Each structure stands twice: as C-alpha cells, then as structure tokens.
Structure 1
Amino acid sequence: MSLFTGTSSYYRQYRPGIPDGLASRLAAYAPDRRPRRLLDVGTGTGLVAEALMPYFTDIIACDNDPGMIATAEEALRPEVPAGTTLSLVTSTAEDFRPPVGWKADLVTICRAFHWLDQAGVLALLDSQVAEGGAVAVFADRSFWAAESDWKAAVKQVIKDFLGEERRAGGGTFQHHNRPYSEIMEESPFNQVEEFTVPVTRTWNTAGILGYLYSTSFAAPALFGDRLEEFEAAVQKTLRGFSEDDTFHESNEFLVRVGRRSA
C-alpha cells in the first residue's frame, strides 16, 4: 500500500487548512508580477493551493497519490477564478518537471517535506524557481506529537492496535534529526527566515477519527478487519476526557522561507 491509500476523502474533509493570515503572509514572499506563479509540492487534496488561489494567477499543484489529485481536482476546479490557470499533476517532487519556461514565484511544501529527498528536491527547485522567488516549508504538529492528555490517550490506542512504532503506510516512519532550516541553509535557498503562526481548534470525536483516517499512521487500511473495534476504542477513550464531546487544541505552524543569496 502507498503511504496514504484510502485517505483522500478523509484528508479533504477533516484535515485543517492553513490560516488566512498565513496564506496572505506566504503570498507576500512572491514577487508581484503577472503571471504570478505558485508551485505547491505534495499538495494532497489541495488545501494550500486553495488558500493561495486568490493571490496567484498560474498554479501547479503536484502529488504522487492519484487519489489525492482526483479529490483536489473535484474540490478546486469549480473554485478557480476567471483568469487563473490551475494544473493538478500526479508526480513525486523528485520527478516533477514544469512546462518549458515555467518558473515559480513561490513554492510551498506543507506537511510533506519529511517525505521528500530534501536536499535533492531543494537543488532541483533551483531551476524551477524564478529570480526573486522563494521556497516555503511549513507544517503544524500532527496528533502524533500528543501535547495534550486526550491526544496522548488516543495515540496510545493507536499503539495498542498497530504497535509502538509510528506507522507510515506499510512501513514505519523514519524520523529526521536535523532542523529543516539547516537543510535549507545548505541549499540554493540559503537565506532562511523562520516564524510561527499559532492556531487554536475545537474537535469532536467524529472529527478526530476523520483526521486520524487521513494520516499515514492511522489510515483505515492499516486496521484491516479491526477498524470498527479501533473506532469503538477511540470513542470510549475520548468519553473519559469530555462530557460534551468537545476537545480543544493549541497548535502552531512552523514556517521556514528560503531565498537565494543576493
């Protein structure tokens, strides 16, 4: 199975998008010219491309999962403004090549950098980013980070069913031990600015399960014929933390934006 087999519908419905304030702030890193071009790498179901659509006139979004791209196409195509071009491409970041002469003013990589050949992709992007353009790498914390009691309890349920190691599709997740800023500083985009954008969210049990089913570590296919048993266990666990099915989350997006040296 691939990392996200069977997750695209959950991803589109239950994964939080990026805050409006972050979308406008990211867009400000792109030179103001026409056409203004965005490349969204690892787009998933297009949440970032959708948030940035008002700011760009020519958008390419790529992902290696055909199901994700199909879901993005269905969701985004009706929303494309007049005069804006949107291309959705099934490709890995490592294999993607833009049309001849096409260069991005901004590249976004959200919640996907950990899956990539990081140095290789950044080197490849040097030929795909226009003069004055930028590369933004960013993510919020996943539920696996478990910085609250209710998240830690849900994480333990996942471990009870799937084992102690964090799953990643059919394998286990390989952690990176270097800050992304260091990796970017060794790339062509070595002038790196880092900032955070706090977010608060309120969840219910249905939303938490939907989110989990959008991940590589709790995709429905991983549970086989125990999926209903897993759902019941999560529901029972969460009832111990809230009487009104309300769960609060404090999170933040950690953003790194790299530019070339002058």
Structure 2
Amino acid sequence: MPALGFGVFQTPPEETVNAVETALKTGYRHIDTAAAYGNERQVGEAIRRPGLDRDEVFIETKVWISDYGYDQTLHAFDKSAGKLGVDRIDLFILHQALPGRFDLTREAYRALETLLADGRVRAIGVSNFMPEHLNALMEQATIAPAVNQVEMHPYFTQPAVQAADTALGTLTQAWSPIGGITSYRGTGTSTFDDPAIGAVAAAHGRTPAQVMLRWHLQEGRSAIPKSVKAERIAENFSVFDFELTDAEIATLDALDTGVRGGPEPDAVTLEAFGRDIPEA
C-alpha cells in the first residue's frame, strides 16, 4: 500500500472524477473512499480513465455502520465493488467502532475475515477505533486489522491509539492529516497558521501542508490528504524529496492539544448516524 493516499471525503460526486483523475496523473496510486461518502462510483470511473492497469492502483473503501452484521457486510462488499467496478478491493475497513452495538461490529469484522480468506479483498482494517475498541475486537477476531484510520494531525496525535496499533502490528493511517479539520472548526489556531509549523516550512522552502505530510511519513504513518484543486493535489504529493530533522519532528510532536475535531467515536450510533447505503 502506498503510504501517501488521496482522499475524497466530502468531495461531491460531480467533482470526484476530475479530482481523482488529476491525483492519478500527478502520481498518486492509493485512493481512499467510503460507502458513506456517496462517490465510490465516481472513484471507479476516474480510476479507469487514465488507462492504468488495475494492479497499479490501490483502492481503499469503508463499510458504513448501517451495513454491519455478517451477511449485511458481505453484501456491503458487493455494493462497494459494484460501484467501483472492480472484482477485488485492496483494503476494506469498518468505518466506525459502533460501540453501542459492538455485537454487529464483531460480525461485520468476521465478514471481512471471510472476504480476505476468499481473496475478494487483499487486506482488512478499521477506522476510528480507540484502544478499548481494538481490545474488544481482538477478543474474537483471528486477524488483526492491517490499518486503523483515525483523525491524526499535529494538534491531535492520539498517542494511546498509536501505541495500541503498534502493539497489534496495525498501521496507523491519518485522516485530516494536515489538520484541515482545525481550519473549519472555527475555534483556535489552524495548523496551517501555526508559527512553529510555519518556521519548519520556511527552513525547507516548503508549505506547512508538505511539512505535516512529511512528518507523518517519517514517523511511519500512512496519510490521506484531500483536495479538489490541481495545485494542492500536486503540492501534497511533493513530499518525497526532503527530510525533517529529529528536532523538527519533535517540534510538531509537541503541538498536540488532545482536542478532537471530528465526532467522538463513542457518540456514533445507528440512531444518530444510520443511513441507507444504495445498491450498486
């Protein structure tokens, strides 16, 4: 799996094809989407456009909580694969822990294990799982998640989650990796305007976004930035030709506020967040 992926969260379907096609032409080979984003079909169309071989593009998508349960999750694979226009999904993950109905979560993960054994997916994982959720999952699961995708940026580094992932051999993957969520929450300083990040960026002749992505990669995480602007898509990919010093990495590590920008994982319930996922 390429460590740097391209995300399409909140990208409208009508903008998704162009954004993903631009990303692929820029050099990205890892595309992250989800059933709940409503743009899997457009991601699939964009992947076919540049004429790349299927094996050249790593596709990651997520099962929404409304499709948890063993049979329901097996069918969720059919829906996602149908929209993407593929026979196999490279990384198939559970979108939320759904702690209030963790029995459904366990059954959904059991379905992922079946899909893996059948060769319909190459790897399985989770998203927004906290240490207690990982522990509860592994009480019955036979295969540890390959990936745990969580909110992760310099203002919210989730050290306990990273430690729990490492203990399982699970890769931590960052959504909102450059702190985009800090810029639209409307409170406090955005990571893009942080003077410490800005100083590191200036020292390398780079942008704050590039520094934050490089920070993730050097610390061994995967990162999934998103944009619909061609210049930003290219900027976010241009992070492989410079290196942060240990002191600079420590500077970014020290910015953690412990403040989550996204929803609390324990607050995600079927009653509040359930939605029907259309058929393929």
Q: What TM-score, normalized by structure 2, do the two folds share? A: 0.32
Q: Compare relative contact order (CA 8 Å, sep 6+) and give the higher one, 1 or 2.
A: 1
State the TM-score, normalized to the length of structure 1.
0.34
Pick the structure with more helix per residue: 2
More strand as a share of residues? 1
